[in-house]
Structure 1
Amino acid sequence: MMVGFGKSMMQSVWMVWERGFGWVLRFRSLHTTHFGICTVMIKRHRGSSILCQDSTLIHDGDMIGELHLNNDTILALIKAEGPDRAALKTARLARRSMMQISEAFEDQPEFREVKALVGITLLHRGLTHGLGFEQQALKYGVFRQMTTAYLRLLLTAMHPEGQRRVARKTEALIPMMLIHTRGSLKNRFLSGGRKIG
Protein backbone atom coordinates (compact mmCIF):
# COMPACT_ATOMS: atom_id res chain seq x y z
CA MET A 1 0.00 0.00 0.00
CA MET A 2 2.76 2.43 0.97
CA VAL A 3 4.66 1.59 -2.23
CA GLY A 4 1.56 2.41 -4.30
CA PHE A 5 1.02 5.63 -2.35
CA GLY A 6 4.66 6.62 -2.80
CA LYS A 7 4.44 5.96 -6.54
CA SER A 8 1.28 8.02 -6.82
CA MET A 9 2.88 10.90 -4.91
CA MET A 10 5.96 10.73 -7.15
CA GLN A 11 3.75 10.89 -10.26
CA SER A 12 1.78 13.83 -8.87
CA VAL A 13 4.92 15.79 -8.01
CA TRP A 14 6.42 15.00 -11.40
CA MET A 15 3.34 16.21 -13.28
CA VAL A 16 3.24 19.47 -11.31
CA TRP A 17 6.89 20.04 -12.16
CA GLU A 18 6.33 19.12 -15.81
CA ARG A 19 3.38 21.50 -16.18
CA GLY A 20 5.53 24.30 -14.79
CA PHE A 21 8.39 23.42 -17.11
CA GLY A 22 6.00 23.30 -20.08
CA TRP A 23 4.67 26.73 -19.15
CA VAL A 24 8.23 28.11 -19.22
CA LEU A 25 8.93 26.40 -22.57
CA ARG A 26 5.98 28.15 -24.17
CA PHE A 27 7.67 31.49 -23.62
CA ARG A 28 10.57 30.20 -25.74
CA SER A 29 8.28 29.20 -28.61
CA LEU A 30 6.86 31.48 -31.29
CA HIS A 31 3.53 29.65 -31.38
CA THR A 32 2.00 26.70 -29.50
CA THR A 33 -0.90 24.56 -30.76
CA HIS A 34 -2.58 21.51 -29.21
CA PHE A 35 -3.56 18.59 -31.43
CA GLY A 36 -5.30 15.98 -29.28
CA ILE A 37 -2.65 14.08 -27.32
CA CYS A 38 0.16 16.13 -28.94
CA THR A 39 1.38 19.69 -28.61
CA VAL A 40 3.53 21.43 -31.23
CA MET A 41 5.72 24.38 -30.28
CA ILE A 42 7.04 26.37 -33.23
CA LYS A 43 10.57 27.59 -32.60
CA ARG A 44 13.91 28.11 -34.29
CA HIS A 45 16.27 25.16 -34.52
CA ARG A 46 19.47 25.74 -32.58
CA GLY A 47 22.61 23.70 -33.12
CA SER A 48 24.14 21.64 -35.89
CA SER A 49 22.36 21.25 -39.22
CA ILE A 50 20.14 18.17 -39.64
CA LEU A 51 20.12 16.31 -42.96
CA CYS A 52 16.86 14.38 -43.38
CA GLN A 53 16.25 11.28 -45.48
CA ASP A 54 14.37 13.21 -48.16
CA SER A 55 17.33 15.66 -48.45
CA THR A 56 15.60 18.41 -46.44
CA LEU A 57 18.37 20.32 -44.64
CA ILE A 58 17.48 22.03 -41.37
CA HIS A 59 19.96 24.80 -40.56
CA ASP A 60 20.51 26.69 -37.33
CA GLY A 61 17.75 29.31 -37.18
CA ASP A 62 15.26 27.46 -39.39
CA MET A 63 11.71 27.02 -38.11
CA ILE A 64 10.76 23.62 -36.69
CA GLY A 65 7.70 22.26 -34.90
CA GLU A 66 8.81 20.72 -31.60
CA LEU A 67 6.53 17.76 -30.82
CA HIS A 68 5.45 16.92 -27.25
CA LEU A 69 3.10 14.24 -25.93
CA ASN A 70 0.54 15.03 -23.22
CA ASN A 71 1.89 12.99 -20.31
CA ASP A 72 -1.18 13.80 -18.18
CA THR A 73 -3.33 11.86 -20.65
CA ILE A 74 -0.84 8.99 -20.90
CA LEU A 75 -0.58 8.69 -17.11
CA ALA A 76 -4.38 8.62 -16.81
CA LEU A 77 -4.53 5.82 -19.41
CA ILE A 78 -1.83 3.82 -17.60
CA LYS A 79 -3.68 4.11 -14.28
CA ALA A 80 -7.03 3.19 -15.82
CA GLU A 81 -6.03 0.39 -18.20
CA GLY A 82 -2.45 -0.69 -17.49
CA PRO A 83 0.71 0.01 -19.53
CA ASP A 84 0.04 -2.37 -22.45
CA ARG A 85 -3.46 -1.14 -23.31
CA ALA A 86 -2.37 2.42 -22.59
CA ALA A 87 0.42 2.04 -25.16
CA LEU A 88 -2.06 0.86 -27.82
CA LYS A 89 -4.47 3.71 -27.09
CA THR A 90 -1.62 6.24 -27.07
CA ALA A 91 -0.52 5.03 -30.51
CA ARG A 92 -4.06 5.44 -31.88
CA LEU A 93 -4.42 8.91 -30.37
CA ALA A 94 -0.98 9.88 -31.68
CA ARG A 95 -1.97 8.85 -35.21
CA ARG A 96 -5.11 10.99 -34.99
CA SER A 97 -3.02 13.92 -33.79
CA MET A 98 -0.51 13.42 -36.61
CA MET A 99 -3.29 13.71 -39.17
CA GLN A 100 -4.35 17.01 -37.59
CA ILE A 101 -0.76 18.25 -37.52
CA SER A 102 -0.20 17.37 -41.18
CA GLU A 103 -3.31 19.37 -42.09
CA ALA A 104 -2.02 22.32 -40.03
CA PHE A 105 1.25 22.24 -41.98
CA GLU A 106 -0.82 22.65 -45.15
CA ASP A 107 -3.49 25.08 -43.98
CA GLN A 108 -2.39 27.20 -41.02
CA PRO A 109 -0.26 30.30 -41.67
CA GLU A 110 1.73 29.77 -38.45
CA PHE A 111 3.20 26.58 -39.97
CA ARG A 112 4.06 28.06 -43.37
CA GLU A 113 7.79 28.39 -42.69
CA VAL A 114 8.16 25.29 -40.52
CA LYS A 115 10.55 22.86 -42.21
CA ALA A 116 9.92 19.78 -40.09
CA LEU A 117 8.23 18.26 -37.06
CA VAL A 118 10.84 17.13 -34.52
CA GLY A 119 10.54 15.24 -31.23
CA ILE A 120 12.88 13.42 -28.86
CA THR A 121 11.88 10.24 -27.03
CA LEU A 122 13.16 7.05 -25.43
CA LEU A 123 10.13 5.09 -26.63
CA HIS A 124 10.90 5.47 -30.32
CA ARG A 125 10.10 1.86 -31.20
CA GLY A 126 6.49 2.10 -30.09
CA LEU A 127 5.87 5.62 -31.30
CA THR A 128 7.31 5.23 -34.78
CA HIS A 129 5.37 2.08 -35.62
CA GLY A 130 2.80 3.08 -38.23
CA LEU A 131 3.59 6.80 -38.00
CA GLY A 132 6.51 6.90 -40.41
CA PHE A 133 8.93 8.99 -38.38
CA GLU A 134 12.54 9.14 -39.49
CA GLN A 135 14.89 8.33 -36.60
CA GLN A 136 18.24 9.95 -35.93
CA ALA A 137 20.49 9.36 -32.92
CA LEU A 138 21.38 12.39 -30.83
CA LYS A 139 25.01 13.38 -31.09
CA TYR A 140 27.17 12.53 -28.08
CA GLY A 141 27.57 15.43 -25.71
CA VAL A 142 26.09 17.23 -22.73
CA PHE A 143 22.66 17.65 -24.35
CA ARG A 144 22.35 13.91 -25.00
CA GLN A 145 23.43 13.09 -21.43
CA MET A 146 20.94 15.55 -19.93
CA THR A 147 18.15 14.37 -22.23
CA THR A 148 18.84 10.71 -21.40
CA ALA A 149 18.75 11.40 -17.65
CA TYR A 150 15.54 13.45 -17.93
CA LEU A 151 13.67 10.92 -20.07
CA ARG A 152 14.73 7.95 -17.92
CA LEU A 153 13.51 9.83 -14.85
CA LEU A 154 10.22 10.49 -16.65
CA LEU A 155 9.85 6.78 -17.45
CA THR A 156 10.63 5.90 -13.82
CA ALA A 157 7.82 8.19 -12.68
CA MET A 158 5.28 7.17 -15.32
CA HIS A 159 5.69 3.41 -15.70
CA PRO A 160 4.17 1.12 -13.02
CA GLU A 161 7.43 -0.86 -12.79
CA GLY A 162 9.39 2.35 -12.35
CA GLN A 163 13.12 1.94 -11.77
CA ARG A 164 12.96 -1.82 -12.45
CA ARG A 165 11.75 -1.08 -15.99
CA VAL A 166 14.59 1.38 -16.59
CA ALA A 167 17.23 -0.96 -15.13
CA ARG A 168 16.01 -3.89 -17.25
CA LYS A 169 15.97 -1.85 -20.48
CA THR A 170 18.88 0.53 -19.85
CA GLU A 171 20.82 -0.27 -23.01
CA ALA A 172 17.73 0.12 -25.20
CA LEU A 173 16.62 3.39 -23.55
CA ILE A 174 18.66 5.73 -25.73
CA PRO A 175 17.02 9.00 -26.80
CA MET A 176 16.31 9.31 -30.51
CA MET A 177 15.24 12.29 -32.56
CA LEU A 178 12.03 11.66 -34.50
CA ILE A 179 11.56 13.71 -37.67
CA HIS A 180 8.81 14.30 -40.19
CA THR A 181 9.63 16.87 -42.87
CA ARG A 182 6.86 18.80 -44.62
CA GLY A 183 7.13 16.39 -47.53
CA SER A 184 7.08 13.20 -45.48
CA LEU A 185 4.12 14.43 -43.41
CA LYS A 186 2.12 15.12 -46.56
CA ASN A 187 3.07 11.81 -48.18
CA ARG A 188 2.23 9.84 -45.03
CA PHE A 189 -1.01 11.44 -43.91
CA LEU A 190 -2.51 13.52 -46.73
CA SER A 191 -3.74 12.90 -50.24
CA GLY A 192 -4.29 16.00 -52.34
CA GLY A 193 -4.23 18.04 -49.14
CA ARG A 194 -7.09 16.07 -47.57
CA LYS A 195 -7.17 13.57 -44.74
CA ILE A 196 -6.91 9.86 -45.43
CA GLY A 197 -8.27 7.19 -43.09
Structure 2
Amino acid sequence: METSNGKVVAQSMWMVWESIFDIVTRFRSESIWRFGICKLVIRRHYGKRIVCHDGSQIAAGDWIGELHLDNQQVIELTRAVGADRAGIMTARMLRRGMKQISQAMRTAPELTKVQAITGITLLHRGIIHGLGFEQHPIASKWAKGFSKVYLRYLLRILHPEGKQRVKQAGEKLEPRMLVISRQALLERFTKKDKDKDKDKEPRMIYM
Protein backbone atom coordinates (compact mmCIF):
# COMPACT_ATOMS: atom_id res chain seq x y z
CA MET A 1 0.00 0.00 0.00
CA GLU A 2 1.44 3.36 -1.05
CA THR A 3 1.71 6.13 1.49
CA SER A 4 -0.52 9.11 0.66
CA ASN A 5 1.02 12.54 0.18
CA GLY A 6 -0.90 13.79 3.21
CA LYS A 7 0.51 11.05 5.41
CA VAL A 8 4.06 11.69 4.14
CA VAL A 9 3.69 15.35 5.13
CA ALA A 10 2.27 14.38 8.54
CA GLN A 11 5.13 11.94 9.10
CA SER A 12 7.70 14.59 8.18
CA MET A 13 6.13 17.08 10.59
CA TRP A 14 6.06 14.42 13.30
CA MET A 15 9.79 13.77 12.87
CA VAL A 16 10.47 17.49 13.25
CA TRP A 17 8.55 17.36 16.53
CA GLU A 18 10.58 14.31 17.62
CA SER A 19 13.82 16.17 16.87
CA ILE A 20 12.67 18.96 19.20
CA PHE A 21 11.63 16.40 21.81
CA ASP A 22 15.10 14.80 21.58
CA ILE A 23 16.65 18.12 22.54
CA VAL A 24 14.36 18.39 25.57
CA THR A 25 15.16 14.77 26.49
CA ARG A 26 18.87 15.58 26.78
CA PHE A 27 18.10 17.89 29.70
CA ARG A 28 16.00 15.36 31.63
CA SER A 29 18.44 12.46 31.27
CA GLU A 30 21.98 11.63 32.27
CA SER A 31 22.89 10.06 28.94
CA ILE A 32 21.31 8.65 25.78
CA TRP A 33 22.51 5.50 24.04
CA ARG A 34 21.80 4.08 20.59
CA PHE A 35 21.47 0.35 19.97
CA GLY A 36 20.35 -0.08 16.36
CA ILE A 37 16.64 0.74 16.22
CA CYS A 38 16.56 1.22 20.01
CA LYS A 39 17.31 4.41 21.89
CA LEU A 40 17.92 4.13 25.63
CA VAL A 41 17.42 7.22 27.79
CA ILE A 42 19.17 6.88 31.16
CA ARG A 43 17.29 8.76 33.87
CA ARG A 44 15.95 8.43 37.40
CA HIS A 45 12.59 6.81 38.07
CA TYR A 46 9.92 9.09 39.49
CA GLY A 47 6.62 7.86 40.76
CA LYS A 48 5.41 4.85 42.69
CA ARG A 49 7.56 1.86 43.52
CA ILE A 50 7.47 -0.90 40.87
CA VAL A 51 7.70 -4.50 42.06
CA CYS A 52 8.82 -6.91 39.34
CA HIS A 53 7.89 -10.56 39.11
CA ASP A 54 11.39 -11.66 40.11
CA GLY A 55 11.19 -9.64 43.33
CA SER A 56 13.29 -6.73 42.06
CA GLN A 57 11.99 -3.31 43.06
CA ILE A 58 12.42 0.04 41.35
CA ALA A 59 11.95 2.89 43.81
CA ALA A 60 11.80 6.63 43.20
CA GLY A 61 15.30 7.86 42.52
CA ASP A 62 16.62 4.58 41.09
CA TRP A 63 18.24 4.68 37.69
CA ILE A 64 16.31 3.21 34.76
CA GLY A 65 16.73 2.94 31.00
CA GLU A 66 13.73 4.36 29.16
CA LEU A 67 13.38 2.48 25.86
CA HIS A 68 12.29 4.23 22.65
CA LEU A 69 12.17 3.02 19.06
CA ASP A 70 13.68 5.07 16.23
CA ASN A 71 10.46 6.05 14.45
CA GLN A 72 12.37 7.36 11.43
CA GLN A 73 13.65 3.84 10.79
CA VAL A 74 10.14 2.44 11.27
CA ILE A 75 8.72 4.93 8.75
CA GLU A 76 11.42 4.13 6.19
CA LEU A 77 10.88 0.38 6.60
CA THR A 78 7.12 0.76 6.19
CA ARG A 79 7.52 2.78 3.02
CA ALA A 80 10.05 0.31 1.61
CA VAL A 81 8.48 -3.08 2.37
CA GLY A 82 4.93 -2.42 3.62
CA ALA A 83 3.45 -2.38 7.09
CA ASP A 84 3.24 -6.15 7.71
CA ARG A 85 6.80 -6.88 6.63
CA ALA A 86 8.06 -3.79 8.46
CA GLY A 87 6.38 -5.05 11.65
CA ILE A 88 8.26 -8.36 11.44
CA MET A 89 11.56 -6.64 10.71
CA THR A 90 11.04 -4.13 13.53
CA ALA A 91 10.42 -6.98 16.00
CA ARG A 92 13.67 -8.65 14.92
CA MET A 93 15.59 -5.39 15.18
CA LEU A 94 14.10 -4.78 18.62
CA ARG A 95 15.26 -8.19 19.82
CA ARG A 96 18.73 -7.49 18.42
CA GLY A 97 18.78 -4.15 20.23
CA MET A 98 17.75 -5.80 23.51
CA LYS A 99 20.63 -8.25 23.18
CA GLN A 100 23.02 -5.35 22.66
CA ILE A 101 21.57 -3.49 25.65
CA SER A 102 22.03 -6.58 27.82
CA GLN A 103 25.66 -6.91 26.76
CA ALA A 104 26.32 -3.21 27.35
CA MET A 105 24.78 -3.44 30.83
CA ARG A 106 27.35 -6.12 31.62
CA THR A 107 30.33 -4.19 30.34
CA ALA A 108 29.71 -0.40 30.21
CA PRO A 109 30.48 1.23 33.59
CA GLU A 110 27.93 3.98 32.89
CA LEU A 111 25.12 1.39 32.70
CA THR A 112 25.93 -0.75 35.74
CA LYS A 113 23.64 1.38 37.93
CA VAL A 114 20.56 0.88 35.69
CA GLN A 115 18.02 -1.20 37.63
CA ALA A 116 15.47 -1.83 34.88
CA ILE A 117 14.43 -1.11 31.31
CA THR A 118 11.02 0.51 30.92
CA GLY A 119 8.80 1.69 28.09
CA ILE A 120 5.23 2.70 27.34
CA THR A 121 3.34 1.31 24.34
CA LEU A 122 -0.10 0.56 22.94
CA LEU A 123 1.14 -2.51 21.07
CA HIS A 124 2.14 -4.46 24.15
CA ARG A 125 0.74 -7.80 22.96
CA GLY A 126 3.13 -8.01 20.04
CA ILE A 127 6.14 -6.15 21.35
CA ILE A 128 6.67 -8.14 24.55
CA HIS A 129 6.56 -11.56 22.87
CA GLY A 130 9.79 -13.38 23.67
CA LEU A 131 11.53 -10.38 25.21
CA GLY A 132 10.67 -10.90 28.87
CA PHE A 133 8.85 -7.62 29.50
CA GLU A 134 6.22 -7.46 32.20
CA GLN A 135 3.08 -5.36 31.86
CA HIS A 136 2.32 -2.84 34.58
CA PRO A 137 -0.51 -0.31 34.76
CA ILE A 138 0.35 3.37 34.44
CA ALA A 139 -0.37 4.71 37.91
CA SER A 140 -0.80 8.39 37.06
CA LYS A 141 -4.16 9.18 35.42
CA TRP A 142 -2.63 12.23 33.76
CA ALA A 143 0.28 10.21 32.35
CA LYS A 144 -2.06 7.45 31.18
CA GLY A 145 -4.38 9.91 29.44
CA PHE A 146 -1.51 11.75 27.77
CA SER A 147 0.14 8.49 26.66
CA LYS A 148 -3.15 7.23 25.22
CA VAL A 149 -3.68 10.32 23.07
CA TYR A 150 0.00 10.55 22.08
CA LEU A 151 0.43 6.88 21.14
CA ARG A 152 -2.87 6.62 19.27
CA TYR A 153 -1.91 9.60 17.16
CA LEU A 154 1.55 8.09 16.60
CA LEU A 155 -0.06 4.85 15.37
CA ARG A 156 -2.24 6.82 12.96
CA ILE A 157 0.84 8.60 11.61
CA LEU A 158 3.22 5.64 11.34
CA HIS A 159 0.95 2.88 10.08
CA PRO A 160 -0.63 3.09 6.58
CA GLU A 161 -3.88 1.74 8.06
CA GLY A 162 -3.41 3.41 11.43
CA LYS A 163 -6.62 5.44 11.29
CA GLN A 164 -8.71 2.32 10.63
CA ARG A 165 -6.90 0.30 13.28
CA VAL A 166 -7.47 2.95 15.93
CA LYS A 167 -11.19 3.06 15.05
CA GLN A 168 -11.57 -0.73 15.01
CA ALA A 169 -9.61 -1.40 18.19
CA GLY A 170 -11.29 1.40 20.11
CA GLU A 171 -10.85 1.14 23.86
CA LYS A 172 -8.70 -1.99 23.52
CA LEU A 173 -5.77 0.27 22.65
CA GLU A 174 -4.79 1.09 26.21
CA PRO A 175 -1.24 2.16 27.04
CA ARG A 176 0.79 -0.11 29.29
CA MET A 177 4.12 0.30 31.01
CA LEU A 178 6.56 -2.43 30.05
CA VAL A 179 9.26 -3.32 32.56
CA ILE A 180 12.11 -5.79 32.64
CA SER A 181 14.45 -5.78 35.63
CA ARG A 182 18.20 -5.79 35.22
CA GLN A 183 18.37 -9.30 36.62
CA ALA A 184 15.70 -10.63 34.25
CA LEU A 185 17.29 -8.92 31.25
CA LEU A 186 20.74 -10.39 31.90
CA GLU A 187 19.30 -13.85 32.54
CA ARG A 188 17.25 -13.82 29.34
CA PHE A 189 19.98 -12.56 27.05
CA THR A 190 22.96 -14.53 28.29
CA LYS A 191 26.45 -14.40 26.82
CA LYS A 192 25.82 -17.53 24.77
CA ASP A 193 22.89 -15.67 23.16
CA LYS A 194 24.99 -12.68 22.10
CA ASP A 195 24.06 -10.95 18.89
CA LYS A 196 26.16 -12.01 15.93
CA ASP A 197 25.51 -8.93 13.83
CA LYS A 198 28.17 -6.31 13.22
CA ASP A 199 26.61 -3.48 15.24
CA LYS A 200 27.48 -4.83 18.68
CA GLU A 201 29.17 -1.84 20.29
CA PRO A 202 27.00 0.48 22.38
CA ARG A 203 26.98 4.06 21.12
CA MET A 204 26.41 6.92 23.52
CA ILE A 205 24.88 9.75 21.52
CA TYR A 206 24.39 12.32 24.30
CA MET A 207 25.99 12.65 27.72
Task: Calculate the TM-score normalised by the size of structure 2.
Answer: 0.89
Q: Check whether the contact 1:35–1:101 (CA below 8 A) recurs between aligned residues.
A: yes
Residues 116, 181 of structure 1: 8 Å contact kept: yes
Secondary structure of 1:114's counterpart equals: coil
- Equivalent residues of 1:105, 1:112 under 8 A apart: yes
With over 3 angstroms needed to count, the CA separation of the structure-2 counterparts of 1:24 and 1:196, relative to structure 1, is: closer
What does residue 80 of structure 2 align with?
80
Total equivalences in the alignment = 194
- Comparing 63-72 and 167-176, the one that deviates more: 167-176
* Structure 2 CA distance for aligned equivalents of residues 125 and 94 of structure 1: 14
Name the aligned partner's letter for residue 14 of structure 2: W
Which range moved further: 129-138 or 73-82?
A: 129-138
Which residue of 2 is the match for residue 139 of structure 1?
139
CA contact (8 A) 2:100 2:195 kept: no
State the shift of 1:140 in Å.
5.2
Aligned to 1:172: 172
**For 1:51-70, what aligned pairs fall within 5 Å after superposition?**
51-70=51-70
- 1:134-172 CA distances to partner (integer Å, 9 max, x unpaired)? 111212511100111101111111111232221111222
Identity of aligned residues (%): 47
Provide the residue aligned with 2:112 in structure 1: 112
Instruction: Assess if the C-alpha contact under 8 Å between 2:48 and 2:139 holds in 1.
Output: no
Unmatched segments (≥5 aa) in structure 2: 197-207
Q: Residue 131 of structure 2 aligns to a residue in which SS?
A: coil
Residue 32 of structure 1 contacts residue 42 of structure 1 at CA under 8 Å; is this kept in 2? yes
The answer to whether the Cα contact below 8 Å between 1:37 and 1:93 also exists between their aligned partners in 2 is yes
Residue in 1 that maps onto 2:44: 44
> What secondary structure is seen at the aligned counterpart in 1 of 2:54?
coil
State TM-score, norm by structure 1: 0.94
Contact 2:137 2:176 in 1 (8 A): yes
- Higher relative contact order, chain-length normalized (CA < 8 Å, sep 6+): 2
